[in-house]
Amino acid sequence: MPRMARKKCNTKVYHVILRGNAKQDIFLEKQDYNKFTKEIYNTKEKYQYELYAYCFMTNHVHLIIYDKNDKLSKILQSLTVSYSAYWNKKYERVGHLFQNRFLSKNVEDEKYLRTLCRYIHQNPCKSGIGEMEEYPWSSYQEYLEGREIVETKQVLMLFGENKTEAISNFINFHKVNQKREDIGELIEYEMVEKINDEQAKKYIEEILKLENIQEILQYSVKKRNEYLKRLKGIQGINKTQIARVTGLTKKMIEKGMKEKEE
Mean pLDDT of the chain: 85
So what's the pLDDT on residue 195? 62
- Residue 159 predicted with pLDDT over 60: yes
Q: Examine the fold and report which residue of 159, 176, 191 is the final residue of a domain before the chain moves on.
A: 191
Same domain, 185 and 81: yes
- For residues 62 and 54, what is the distance between their CA atoms, to the nearest angstrom? 5
Which of 191, 209, 241 is the last residue in one of the domains? 191
Assess whether 42 and 164 both reside in one domain: yes
Q: Residue 215 belongs to what H/E stretch?
A: none
Looking at residue 233, its pLDDT comes to 60
Same domain, 177 and 216: no
Strands 13-19 and 103-106: antiparallel
In a shared domain, residues 106 and 138: yes
Letter for the amino acid at 75?
I
The Cα–Cα gap between 59 and 18 comes to 9
pLDDT band at 2 (very low <50, low <70, confident <90, very high): very low
pTM: 0.69
The answer to whether residue 7 sits within a structural domain is no
Q: What is the mean pLDDT of residues 135-144?
A: 94
Residues 136, 237: one domain? no
Is residue 154 located within the same domain as residue 100?
A: yes
Do 19 and 132 sit in the same domain of this protein? yes
Phi, psi of 191 (to 5 degrees): -85, -10
Query: Same domain, yes or no, for 78 and 205?
Result: no
Give the side-chain half-sphere CA count within 13 A for 34: 3
Q: Got the DSSP string for 29-76?
A: SHHHHHHHHHHHHHHHHHH--EEEEEEE-SSEEEEEEE-TTS-HHHHH
Whether 54 and 69 map to the same domain: the answer is: yes
Say if strands 50-56 and 60-66 run parallel, antiparallel, or are unpaired: antiparallel
Quote the CA–CA distance of 161 and 186 in Å, as a whole number. Answer: 32
Looking up residue 112, the CATH number of its domain turns out to be 3.30.70.1290
8 within domain boundaries? no
Find residue 55's DSSP bridge partners: 62, 138
State the Cα–Cα distance between residues 132 and 120, nearest whole angstrom.
Answer: 10
Q: Does residue 1 lie within any of the structural domains? A: no
Q: Give domain status of residue 236, yes or no.
A: yes
Q: Is 16 helix (H, G, I), strand (E, B) or coil?
A: strand
Give the residue with greater pLDDT, 99 vs 32: 32
Q: State whether 41 and 119 are in the same domain.
A: yes
| Same domain flag for 27 and 46 | yes
Structural domain of residue 50, as residue ranges?
Answer: 13-191
Q: Are residues 115 and 215 in the same domain?
A: no
Indicate if the pLDDT at residue 137 is higher than 80: yes
Question: So what's the pLDDT on residue 184?
Answer: 47
Total number of domains constituting the chain:
2
What pLDDT is attached to residue 261? 45
- 4 lies in some domain: no
Q: How large is the average pLDDT for residues 12-38? A: 92
Query: Above 90 in pLDDT, residue 12?
Result: yes
Instruction: Compute the average pLDDT of residues 45-68.
Output: 95
| Confidence label for 96 from pLDDT (cuts 50, 70 and 90) | confident
Q: Would the pLDDT of 165 be above 80? A: yes
Mean pLDDT of 94-108: 83
| CB-neighbour burial class of residue 97 (10 A; exposed 0-12, middle 13-18, buried 19+) | buried
- The percentage of the chain sitting over the pLDDT mark of 70, rounded to a whole number, equals 87
Q: What is the pLDDT of residue 185?
A: 42
Could you read off the pLDDT of 199-253 as tens digits, one per residue? Answer: 778 878 877 888 888 889 999 999 999 888 888 766 567 788 888 889 999 889 9
Does residue 3 form part of some domain?
A: no
**What secondary structure does DSSP assign to 74-90, as a single string?**
HHHHHHHHHHHHHHHHH
Burial of 208 (0-12, 13-18, 19+ CB in 10 A): middle
